[in-house]
Amino acid sequence: MGNPDHIHEAGDGRPSRRVTVNGKVIERVFFADTLNGVVKHYDYPLRVDPSTGEAAFSTMHGKVKVELI
């Protein structure tokens, strides 16, 4: 069973997408929820969070739009 239509994740098998938050294109997105207005994307330049040892990311909130490209 796949994700609901409003959830978009990297590697979910769907084609490439363009993600915008409040009209601004966001790069390096690995999670987007259009229903709840949440986007998670990797920071650039890529850095490691010292507390977790994983790639650092930021979370944005707003009007999220996902378009297939």
Q: Quick one: pLDDT band at residue 2, thresholds 50, 70, 90?
A: low
The residue extents of the domains of the chain are 7-68
CA–chain centroid gap for 51, Å, is 22
The per-residue pLDDT for range 37-61, each reduced to its tens digit, is: 999 999 999 999 999 999 999 999 9
Q: Quick one: pLDDT band at residue 6, thresholds 50, 70, 90?
A: very high
Distance CA 16, CA 36 (A): 21
13 has a pLDDT exceeding 70: yes
